Amino acid sequence: MAETFDIVFKGGTVVNQDGEGLADIGVRDGKIRAIGDIGEGLAGETIDARGLHILPGVIDSQVHFREPGMEHKEDLETGSRSAVLGGVTAVFEMPNTKPPTTSAEALEAKVDAATDRMHCDFAFFIGATRENIDELAELERLPGAAGVKVFAGSSTGDLLVDDEESLARMFATIRRRASFHSECESRLKERVSVQREGDPASHTEWRDPIAAIASTERLLRLATDAGKRIHILHISTGAEMELLSLHKDVASVEVTPQHLTLATPDAYERLGTRAQMNPPLRDQANQDILWWGLQQGVVDVLGSDHAPHTLDEKAGSYPATPSGMPGVQTLVPVMLDHVNAGRLSLARFVDLTSAGPQRLFGIAGKGRIAAGYDADLTVVDLKAERVIENAWIGSKSGWTPFAGRSVRGWPIGTIVRGRLAMWDGELGQAGGAAVRFGEALPKVSSV
């Protein structure tokens, strides 16, 4: 008797370990069960995917969904709504909430709040503090934990571990790869007078490339001494990219679509304080080296650093304005536009958004279109031409720095464990669950 499926995606161009080719995908019980030529009448539901590309589900490994404590900007439901509207099937959310995610209780509360309420799957970073360092080895392995996040330079929120003694203690404690916001806090304090009232362009001058490279050099040294692995988030400077290319045995690298696409001074002239983020946008010369790092394989993953604030908050006068911008919903269309422009291949995009996160973080059952894996799929129309508009944004913040930008390549469907989380702009029922990790799977007793 022929195998039957809950849902079959027919006739799409599947992008997986075999390359690209026309194939059907059969899904049962939330898992991929067959790839190939699947006959008619073998599924409860059939989706016509002809003319579309089916990619492994896009994983955004850096978002800020602001819950608990800042729900007027975003919450877990609205942030995940924005994610699936943009083709993202799973997110790793950051710990700088109020209260911060620095304990087992806080992590459990987030997992409980997210389960079946978020539209995509999820994991949450544990924030490192001077007070919880001795507990990190256990916290980083709890269900739903993506690992440890360290703010080595201050940003939104109160989390900061910038002294060398505490960082060394942390490296001695953790076992998984830790993720870092890498800016030198002492240099930021020394240079605070560089900020000019009412001039957001001075943000890039204040948080200068030296602040970034000095911090990253120190983290590389400490990690090497401890024999541990690090992940440097949102690289913004050419100097860091060149340095990190020499230390791939220790460090993995993330870049954002914003740093790859928006450059100073134009971004500040067009967007004002809406272009303000940490680390800041840089000039074209730095952006060119970021693209060099991406094309040379130095960059491991793309993260959106989705960090929403309301337009009212952004409308204040610099430097009283908050840093950060929405990004989870625009990651796929902005980067597919770069694919269509020839700046990276579709295979490289897939590596950066699914296989890359799976490798770095040890994700279980995601990151590939393969039998036995979760049926997480990002379905895109590479030929579709659209204009990104604020009205399309599902985030509670209601805006994007890419508003008015024409792109070629658009997310058509977001499939999360076989569930249509989004299809052709329409949301399905929320049903998010915690991402599982190989280094934190429950032990199974032997028989």
Going by pLDDT thresholds of 50, 70 and 90, the confidence category of residue 160 is: confident
Shared domain check, 383 and 312: no
Shared domain check, 141 and 47: no
**Residue 308 φ/ψ, nearest 5 degrees:** -75, 145
Shared domain check, 95 and 160: yes
305 has catalytic annotation: yes
Shared domain check, 289 and 164: yes
For 164-175, the pLDDT digits (tens) are: 999 999 999 999
For 255-308, the pLDDT digits (tens) are: 999 999 999 999 999 999 999 999 999 999 999 999 999 999 999 999 999 999
Shared domain check, 104 and 242: yes
- DSSP conformation letters of 308-347: ---HHHHTS-TTSSPP-B--TTTHHHHHHHHHHTTSS-HH
Angle at 185 between CA 241 and CA 70, to 5 degrees: 95
Q: What is the mean pLDDT of residues 19-42?
A: 96
Q: What percent of the chain has pLDDT over 70?
A: 97
- Residue 347 domain-assigned (yes or no): yes
**Residue 35 φ/ψ, nearest 5 degrees:** -130, 125
Sequence-ordered list of residues with C-beta below 8 angstroms from that of 432, at least 6 positions apart, any chain: 80, 114, 115, 116, 117, 118, 119, 120, 121, 122, 416
Shared domain check, 422 and 273: no
- Residue 433 domain-assigned (yes or no): no
Q: Which member of 305, 337, 351, 381 is catalytic?
A: 305
| pLDDT of amino acid 444 | 53
What's the CATH code of the domain at 258? 3.20.20.140
- Residue 444 domain-assigned (yes or no): no
State the chain's mean pLDDT as an integer: 96
Shared domain check, 177 and 293: yes
- DSSP conformation letters of 231-285: EE-S---HHHHHHHTT-TTTEEEEE-HHHHH--BTHHHHHHGGGG--SSPP-BHH
Shared domain check, 130 and 14: no
- Residue 436 domain-assigned (yes or no): no
The pTM assigned to this predicted structure is 0.96
What's the CATH code of the domain at 420? 2.30.40.10
| pLDDT of amino acid 3 | 87
- Residue 432 domain-assigned (yes or no): no
Q: Which of the listed residues 311, 335, 361 is the one where a domain comes to its end?
A: 361
Shared domain check, 161 and 244: yes
- Residue 309 domain-assigned (yes or no): yes
Shared domain check, 17 and 93: no
Shared domain check, 61 and 48: no
User: What is d(CA 114, CA 91) in angstroms, rounded to the nearest whole number?
Assistant: 11
**How many distinct structural domains can be found in the chain?**
2
Q: What is the mean pLDDT of residues 394-422?
A: 98
- Residue 381 domain-assigned (yes or no): yes
Q: Which domain holds residue 22?
A: 5-54+371-427
Shared domain check, 174 and 100: yes
Residue 438 neighbours by CB distance under 10 Å: 11
Is residue 443's pLDDT more than 90?
no
Going by pLDDT thresholds of 50, 70 and 90, the confidence category of residue 441 is: low
